[in-house]
C-alpha cells in the first residue's frame, strides 16, 4: 500500500508540475509581442570597422545614409509596397552612394576597371536572378531582377549580362560613373603590397566629395537588403563591386544564390557580406535557412552558429543579415563591425556600425 501511495503521489506531483510548466509556457506565449506585419533589415558591408579608425565625419555620413535607407524602406512597407520593390529601391540607392562598395563607389579591379555582381531572390516562389562581371550597368540589382523576370536563366555574366541589361532598357553608363578617388587610392595601396605596377588611371583624379579614407582597407562594402512585406513574402538582395584589385574575372558570393543571397517565405531571408570564397564553400545563406527550417532554430541562433562556428572555423570573415520565419530581424558577424540597420511595423528602428553582443535580439 505504501508503495502504491508513493508512486501515486509522485505521479500526481509530476502531473501538477507539468501543468505548471504548460501554464508558464502559455503565459509566455500570451505575453510575447505579436510578429511584425512587415520588417526590414539592411547592411552596407562588414570588416575592420572600429571607432578608432572612423572620423566623426565618416561615422556621421554612414549613420545618416543607413538611417535614411531604413526610413525609406519602412515608409514603403507601411504603405503596402511589395518586398521586391523595396529591396530593389533601397539597393539602387546604395549603388548610387559612393560610401558603399556597389555601383558608384565600387572597388577597382587589378587593371583599374570595374566588375559588378548582384543577385535577388523572392521567397514565395523561389524565383531568383543574378548577374556577374557587369562593367557599365548603373544598377546591377535591377539587372538581376530583369534576369529573374525576363530571362529563362538564373545567372548571367560578363559581356552578355551587360548586353542583356541594355536590351531590357536599364541605364547604361560610362565606367567612369563608378569611379571615386578613394577607391583608386585603395587600389594603389593593394597593388603596392602585391608588388604589381599600377595601371594608368583612366578616370581621375576627381574631386571626390565622399572621400572618407580608412587607415585599413580590409573591409567589405557589399550591400544587402532583406524585406518582409504585408503579404508575408520575404525577399533578399545583394550587390557588390567585389574585392579591391581582384583579377582573372574573380566572382565572389554576392551573385551566388545560396551563398550571398537566399529567401524562402515562412522560413528566412539572408544577405551576406565578407570574403566570398568562404561563403561560397559553406553556402552560408542556405545553411542559415536550413538550420531554421530543419532544426527549428530561431534566426539569431542559426546566424550565430553559421558565422561564429562554421565560417570562423574555416578561417573566413564577414557577416549576414537575416529575417526569420515571421520577419524577426537578426544579424551576425565575426569582424570588428558591420554597417547595419533594421525596422519593424512595431515601431522599432535601429542603426548600428560597431561590434555587437551575440544574442542582442534575444
Question: Distance (Å, rounded) from C-alpha 148 to C-alpha 263?
Answer: 14
Domain contains 311: yes
CATH of the domain at 283: 3.60.20.30
Among 28-37, 133-142, 280-289, which is the least confidently predicted range? 28-37
218 and 245 assigned to the same domain: yes
Of residues 89, 109, 180, 222, which has the active-site annotation?
222
**In the predicted structure, residue 61 carries a pLDDT above the cut 90:** yes
Residue 361 resides in a domain: no
Q: Would residue 134 count as lying in a domain?
A: yes
Residues 187 and 287 in one domain: yes
Residues 11 and 66 in one domain: no
Does 46 lie in the same domain as 28?
A: no
Instruction: Note the pLDDT tens digit of each residue in 91-113.
Output: 999 999 999 999 999 999 999 99
Residues 286 and 334 in one domain: yes
Q: What percent of the chain has pLDDT over 70?
A: 85
- Give the domain range for residue 5: 1-32
Q: What is the pLDDT of residues 5-45, one digit of tens each?
A: 343 443 444 444 444 444 444 444 556 678 899 999 999 99
What is the arrangement of strands in the sheet containing 116-122, beginning at the earlier edge strand?
155-157, 128-134, 116-122, 234-240, 223-228, 39-47, 337-344, 349-354
Whether 198 and 233 share a structural domain:
yes
pTM of the model as a whole: 0.88
CA angle 225, 235, 60 (to 5 degrees): 15
The stretch 283-303 carries a mean pLDDT of 98
Question: Is residue 12 domain-shared with residue 95, that is, in the same domain?
Answer: no
Number of domains in the chain: 2
Residues 281 and 241 in one domain: yes
d(CA 286, CA 362) in angstroms, rounded, equals: 22
Residue 287: band (very low, low, confident or very high) from pLDDT cuts 50, 70, 90: very high
Strand, coil or helix: what is 303? Answer: helix
User: Is 360 part of any domain?
Assistant: no
* Model confidence at 2: pLDDT above 60: no
Residue 359 falls inside a structural domain: no
**173 and 314 co-located in one domain:** yes
> Is 55 among the domain residues?
yes
Q: Which pLDDT tens digit goes with each residue over 327-346?
A: 999 999 999 999 999 999 99
Q: Is residue 128 included in any domain, yes or no?
A: yes
Query: If we measure between CA atoms, which residue out of 288, 243, 233, 292 comes closest to residue 261?
Result: 288
Record the cell numbers describing residue 222, joined without a space.
557589399
Question: Is residue 29 within a helix (H) or strand (E), and if so which, with residue range?
Answer: helix 2-31
C-alpha R_g of the chain: 23
Asked if the structure places residue 131 within a domain, the reply is yes
- Catalytic residue flag (residue 222): yes
Averaged confidence pLDDT in the chain: 89
Residue 285 in this model has a pLDDT that exceeds 90: yes
Please indicate, yes or no, whether residues 12 and 99 belong to a single structural domain of this protein. Answer: no
Residues 264 and 127 reside in one and the same domain: yes
Mark whether 56 and 123 lie in a shared domain: yes
Amino acid at each position: 500500500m505504501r508503495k502504491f501511495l508513493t508512486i501515486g503521489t509522485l505521479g500526481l506531483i509530476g502531473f501538477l508540475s507539468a501543468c505548471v510548466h504548460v501554464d508558464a509556457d502559455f503565459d509566455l506565449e500570451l505575453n510575447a509581442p505579436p510578429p511584425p506585419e512587415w520588417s526590414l533589415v539592411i547592411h552596407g558591408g562588414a570588416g575592420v570597422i572600429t571607432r578608432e579608425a572612423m572620423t566623426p565625419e565618416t561615422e556621421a555620413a554612414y549613420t545618416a545614409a543607413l538611417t535614411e535607407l531604413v526610413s525609406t524602406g519602412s515608409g514603403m512597407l507601411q504603405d503596402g509596397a511589395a518586398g521586391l520593390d523595396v529591396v530593389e529601391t533601397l539597393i539602387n540607392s546604395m549603388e548610387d552612394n559612393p560610401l558603399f562598395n556597389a555601383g558608384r563607389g565600387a572597388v577597382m579591379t587589378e587593371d583599374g576597371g570595374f566588375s559588378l555582381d548582384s543577385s535577388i531572390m523572392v521567397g514565395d516562389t523561389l524565383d531568383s536572378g543574378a548577374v556577374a562581371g557587369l562593367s557599365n550597368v548603373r544598377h546591377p540589382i535591377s539587372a538581376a531582377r530583369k534576369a529573374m523576370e525576363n530571362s529563362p536563366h538564373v545567372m548571367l555574366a560578363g559581356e552578355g549580362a551587360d548586353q542583356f541589361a541594355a536590351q531590357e532598357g536599364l541605364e547604361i553608363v560610362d565606367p567612369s560613373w563608378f569611379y571615386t578617388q578613394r577607391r583608386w587610392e585603395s587600389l594603389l595601396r593593394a597593388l603596392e603590397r602585391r608588388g604589381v605596377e599600377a595601371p594608368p588611371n583612366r578616370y581621375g583624379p576627381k574631386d571626390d566629395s565622399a572621400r572618407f579614407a580608412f587607415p585599413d582597407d580590409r573591409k567589405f562594402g557589399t550591400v544587402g537588403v532583406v524585406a518582409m512585406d504585408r503579404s508575408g513574402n520575404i525577399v533578399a538582395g545583394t550587390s557588390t563591386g567585389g574585392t579591391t584589385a581582384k583579377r582573372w574575372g574573380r566572382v565572389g558570393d554576392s551573385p551566388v544564390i545560396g551563398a550571398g543571397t537566399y529567401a524562402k517565405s515562412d522560413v528566412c531571408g539572408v544577405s551576406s557580406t565578407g570574403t566570398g570564397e568562404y561563403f561560397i564553400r559553406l553556402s552560408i545563406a542556405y545553411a542559415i535557412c536550413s538550420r531554421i527550417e530543419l532544426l527549428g532554430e530561431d534566426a539569431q541562433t542559426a546566424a550565430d552558429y553559421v558565422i561564429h562556428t562554421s565560417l570562423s572555423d574555416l578561417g573566413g570573415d564577414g557577416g549576414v543579415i537575416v529575417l526569420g520565419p515571421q520577419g524577426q530581424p537578426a544579424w551576425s558577424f565575426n569582424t570588428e563591425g558591420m554597417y547595419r540597420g533594421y525596422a519593424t511595423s512595431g515601431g522599432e528602428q535601429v542603426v548600428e556600425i560597431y561590434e555587437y553582443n551575440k544574442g542582442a535580439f534575444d
